[in-house]
Chains A and B, each alone.
Chain A
């Protein structure tokens, strides 16, 4: 038996274990049998082990060139260096799904480890005695349902991996070499970006599992909120980093001068991130005021459904045409699963509506609650528009038989106003008080940020920037930044009045209010990203052809072409051009070395390595693509000047930092408890309508 056979066996056995574990935890939940729950926990451990074996088997097959496996043959070749072959693991659909399942198995282990363990002898005592026994991540009532949901999801993936599209499928004749991986996917960023997105998609299972557990057990209180928030934050962070890595990869590798092309695969990855963002915000309203409970649940469910949709779309190419959609062998299963998830979860939600009644009402339009409602409208509206634009070509082809394209102009026009709305809300929202803000007070608080925004807008206009969108966008960015600064300043001043010195006060301020001040850092990150996006609207591009020694002017920059070198590396050969970059006054800014490679097996798809140099003081990227080199060493270059794009990457770093601050486990628990104790209020309006229904 080879290692690959062992991997295959591990997958099949894992399917059986997952089926058993799902049944056992469900029985444990219904019959409240702790023994069965213990058994289900063991199943989770076994699954992690089995999937690790399967994953190692695939890695092993890729490293040892086991071309008897169809997957290895289709996604790697002998010419590829070792690290690139490891990347092949997620270069295709089956491997991607295996990574997903493996990730879920390991994450389930962490989830289960954090869930409370029932005492074996407590079996007869009944659920009431568990009341006070609250675990860190959810109480005892949730545990069996959380495990059941996670294992049910796992069962589906193992079914697909084991019986529909196995990564261990054998070829009848063993080829001597493989087809190799698309060279565009061999970039180092590809080692990180696809697994991050897959793991992000996968992580949305956990908040979903807690939502289902809360609904199934009827324990829709604090434990669910706490666990749901923590796990959603994790998934949201991973997905956010995956999206940013994807943008970075596109920018550095694809060579069209941009980083976000509104490609279907990018779009579907954005969708769960958007709904998760909405979820994280409404959760605050629910914690604080006990409102919007149904809506929060719906968002958790929708996020997971979108994550499943994205997982299916990411490697299958199904969104390119109706045919590939219909012909995809795993398609029907995925849509069946999606249907089960949506119908089942909705039914459960409807069944539990009485438990999810709002504990109050939104008292005023000028209140933090109303601000969050608006935030949700914009975020969900954004997600809906992107989803609709992404699936519309399929719909058109299916209904009318006419292919249409929905391209960047659509997305820019539809999402632009919504994004500006979100920015404005990010600036104004934090200044709204819970329950009610008087217009006078709001006006007073809005004053300074609005003044800053106006000053920035006017300053930009004075600098000679004429585009309306750029001016409005810059002012909106300044508005948000000023609000965040103001919030920090108010917090700091209050601490300093308490006798703390500057830096120390900042430390305690952030430590005591991690969620709030971490959240503000994320807002600042969004501002930076918005600045980058606005800046790239002012892109300049030129196509130039140069002979050695010749010079070209692009914008304020000059490019001097020195020489052409030959390039030879593992699995590829090509040419490399050396250029000197000069600034506006002819000063030397750096050397650019774009190259152009042809990979073995991919001769018809030459790959350019793009040379990018970020220049000061306006943070303009000079972005050079070598598109052609002829026999007499003349080169054709596509040169872009991209202002401020570097802000997107800086924003990405700040995003990660902010989420780390917000998500870092509290050393001591009482803070959150204080927050919600304050929020307790009499349910005076029993007749209140259901929010968001």
Chain B
């Protein structure tokens, strides 16, 4: 698997370097993006880079995509339409932010759902306690079952012994 991966990475890097060199001149002409275009570019993944968005990447592919976004925006197209066309061309993988509907909705809603379940569990743990008027330390010792009382005494003795031992 190492060889395959390395070949893949190597290929991507080689491609990147090649495009980089040829794109160097173009880079200087890269016009500053409008905030809206920048926002779209930030939400798209640069497919030939490692962990970079289209906005961050200096690669020519990303540059081209940035220019494309700016062009379409200038032509009055909506963000949705631009992103939809780019997804059609490059695949769902370019979306850094997975759609909230369909299968990828799972990635969004599962954490929310598990958090809700956790909160519910905590609420259930806490709820019945509030009704108890007598807090346990106020309950008379006599109310304890004999074996519990014995256990408690034993623990108390052990703690005290340990405490003394610690001082000595």
Q: Is B35 engaged at the interface, CB distance under 8 Å to the other chain?
A: no
Are B110 and A373 in contact (CB-based, < 8 A)? no
Q: Is A487 engaged at the interface, CB distance under 8 Å to the other chain?
A: no
Contacts of A543 in B (CB 8 A): 27, 30
Q: Is B89 engaged at the interface, CB distance under 8 Å to the other chain?
A: no
Contacts of A689 in B (CB 8 A): 125
Contacts of B74 in A (CB 8 A): none
Are B110 and A388 in contact (CB-based, < 8 A)? yes
| Nearest CB in chain A: distance from B72 CB, A | 21
Q: Is B61 engaged at the interface, CB distance under 8 Å to the other chain?
A: no
Contacts of A692 in B (CB 8 A): 121, 125
Q: Complex: how many Å from CA A455 to CA B22?
A: 54
CB < 8 Å: which of A403, A604, A606 contacts B92? Answer: A403
- A window 383-428: CB within 8 A of B: 384-385, 388-389, 392, 396, 399-400, 402-410, 413-414, 418
Q: What 0/1 readout, one digit per residue, does chain A (361-399) give for beta carbons within 8 Å of chain B?
A: 111110000100110010011001100110010001001
Which of A39-47, A169-177, A669-677 touches B?
A669-677
Are B159 and A680 in contact (CB-based, < 8 A)? yes
Are B28 and A545 in contact (CB-based, < 8 A)? yes
Q: Complex: how many Å from CA A406 to CA B126?
A: 36
- Nearest A residue to B23 via CB reads A628
Are A405 and B95 in contact (CB-based, < 8 A)? yes
Q: What 0/1 readout, one digit per residue, does chain A (658-693) give for beta carbons within 8 Å of chain B?
A: 000000000011100110110011111110010110
CB < 8 Å: which of B4, B51, B93 contacts A263? Answer: B51
Which of A211-219, A323-331, A512-520 touches B?
A323-331
- Nearest B residue to A435 via CB reads B135
Residue of B91, B125, B126, B139 with most partner-chain A CB within 10 A: B125
Known contacts A327-B1, A405-B93; A388 and B107 CB within 8 A of each other: yes
Q: Is B143 engaged at the interface, CB distance under 8 Å to the other chain?
A: yes
Q: Complex: how many Å from CA A418 to CA B149?
A: 43
| Nearest CB in chain B: distance from A514 CB, A | 16
Q: Is B97 engaged at the interface, CB distance under 8 Å to the other chain?
A: yes
Are B5 and A363 in contact (CB-based, < 8 A)? no
Q: What 0/1 readout, one digit per residue, does chain B (135-168) give for beta carbons within 8 Å of chain A?
A: 1110101011100110110011001101100110
Q: Complex: how many Å from CA A59 to CA B127?
A: 60
Q: What 0/1 readout, one digit per residue, does chain B (24-43) give for beta carbons within 8 Å of chain A?
A: 10011010000000000011
Are B159 and A676 in contact (CB-based, < 8 A)? yes
Are B45 and A686 in contact (CB-based, < 8 A)? no
Known contacts A261-B51, A373-B122; A638 and B1 CB within 8 A of each other: no
Contacts of A323 in B (CB 8 A): 1, 4
Q: Is A605 engaged at the interface, CB distance under 8 Å to the other chain?
A: yes
Contacts of A361 in B (CB 8 A): 129, 136
Are A682 and B92 in contact (CB-based, < 8 A)? no
Are B1 and A329 in contact (CB-based, < 8 A)? yes
Q: Is A563 engaged at the interface, CB distance under 8 Å to the other chain?
A: no
- Nearest B residue to A367 via CB reads B126
Q: Is B96 engaged at the interface, CB distance under 8 Å to the other chain?
A: yes
Contacts of A580 in B (CB 8 A): none
- A window 571-594: CB within 8 A of B: none
Contacts of A604 in B (CB 8 A): 10, 13-14, 16-17
- Nearest A residue to B123 via CB reads A365
- Nearest A residue to B97 via CB reads A409
| Nearest CB in chain B: distance from A640 CB, A | 10
Contacts of A410 in B (CB 8 A): 96-98, 107-108
- Nearest A residue to B12 via CB reads A604
Q: Complex: how many Å from CA A319 to CA B140?
A: 58
Are B4 and A324 in contact (CB-based, < 8 A)? yes
CB < 8 Å: which of B4, B135, B141 contacts A436? Answer: B135
Q: Complex: how many Å from CA A677 to CA B1?
A: 57
Q: Is A555 engaged at the interface, CB distance under 8 Å to the other chain?
A: no
Residue of A364, A373, A413 with most partner-chain B CB within 10 A: A373
- Nearest B residue to A377 via CB reads B118
CB < 8 Å: which of B5, B95, B115, B130 contacts A317? Answer: B5
Are B27 and A409 in contact (CB-based, < 8 A)? no
Are A396 and B152 in contact (CB-based, < 8 A)? no
Q: Complex: how many Å from CA A678 to CA B160?
A: 10
Are A396 and B103 in contact (CB-based, < 8 A)? yes
CB < 8 Å: which of B5, B10, B96 contacts A407? Answer: B96
Number of interface residues, chain B, beta carbon within 8 A: 66
Are A638 and B14 in contact (CB-based, < 8 A)? no
Q: Is A346 engaged at the interface, CB distance under 8 Å to the other chain?
A: no
- Nearest B residue to A408 via CB reads B96
Known contacts A377-B118, A683-B151, A684-B144; A392 and B106 CB within 8 A of each other: yes
Q: Is A437 engaged at the interface, CB distance under 8 Å to the other chain?
A: no
Q: What 0/1 readout, one digit per residue, does chain A (123-141) give for beta carbons within 8 Å of chain B?
A: 0000000000000000000
Contacts of B114 in A (CB 8 A): 381, 384
| Nearest CB in chain A: distance from B1 CB, A | 3
Contacts of B107 in A (CB 8 A): 388-389, 392, 406, 410
Q: Complex: how many Å from CA A403 to CA B95?
A: 10
Q: Is A22 engaged at the interface, CB distance under 8 Å to the other chain?
A: no
Q: Is B81 engaged at the interface, CB distance under 8 Å to the other chain?
A: no
Are B163 and A673 in contact (CB-based, < 8 A)? yes
Are A404 and B122 in contact (CB-based, < 8 A)? no
Are B130 and A677 in contact (CB-based, < 8 A)? no
- Nearest A residue to B167 via CB reads A670
Are B148 and A396 in contact (CB-based, < 8 A)? no
- A window 589-633: CB within 8 A of B: 603-606, 627-628, 630
Q: Is A636 engaged at the interface, CB distance under 8 Å to the other chain?
A: yes
Q: What 0/1 readout, one digit per residue, does chain B (71-98) give for beta carbons within 8 Å of chain A?
A: 0000000000000000000011111111
Q: What 0/1 readout, one digit per residue, does chain A (312-342) give for beta carbons within 8 Å of chain B?
A: 0000010010011001110000000000000
Q: Is A360 engaged at the interface, CB distance under 8 Å to the other chain?
A: yes
Are B163 and A670 in contact (CB-based, < 8 A)? yes
- Nearest A residue to B115 via CB reads A381
- Nearest A residue to B139 via CB reads A684
Q: Is B56 engaged at the interface, CB distance under 8 Å to the other chain?
A: yes
Q: Is A488 engaged at the interface, CB distance under 8 Å to the other chain?
A: no
Contacts of A409 in B (CB 8 A): 42-43, 96-97
Are B155 and A680 in contact (CB-based, < 8 A)? yes
Are A681 and B137 in contact (CB-based, < 8 A)? yes
- Nearest A residue to B45 via CB reads A405
Other A-B pairs, 15, CB within 8 Å; known A384-B111, A402-B103, A692-B121: A261-B51, A317-B5, A323-B4, A364-B129, A377-B119, A377-B122, A380-B118, A388-B110, A402-B93, A403-B93, A404-B104, A408-B96, A414-B111, A604-B17, A673-B163
Lowest 6 CB-CB distances: which A-B pairs, in order? A407-B96, A327-B1, A385-B111, A409-B97, A670-B166, A684-B136
15 contacts between A and B (CB under 8 A): A364-B129, A373-B125, A389-B111, A392-B98, A403-B91, A403-B92, A409-B96, A413-B97, A604-B14, A604-B17, A628-B24, A681-B136, A682-B136, A682-B149, A689-B125
Q: Chain A residues in contact with chain B, CB under 8 A?
A: 256-257, 261, 263, 317, 320, 323-324, 327-329, 360-365, 370, 373-374, 377, 380-381, 384-385, 388-389, 392, 396, 399-400, 402-410, 413-414, 418, 435-436, 543, 545, 603-606, 627-628, 630, 636, 638, 668-670, 673-674, 676-677, 680-686, 689, 691-692
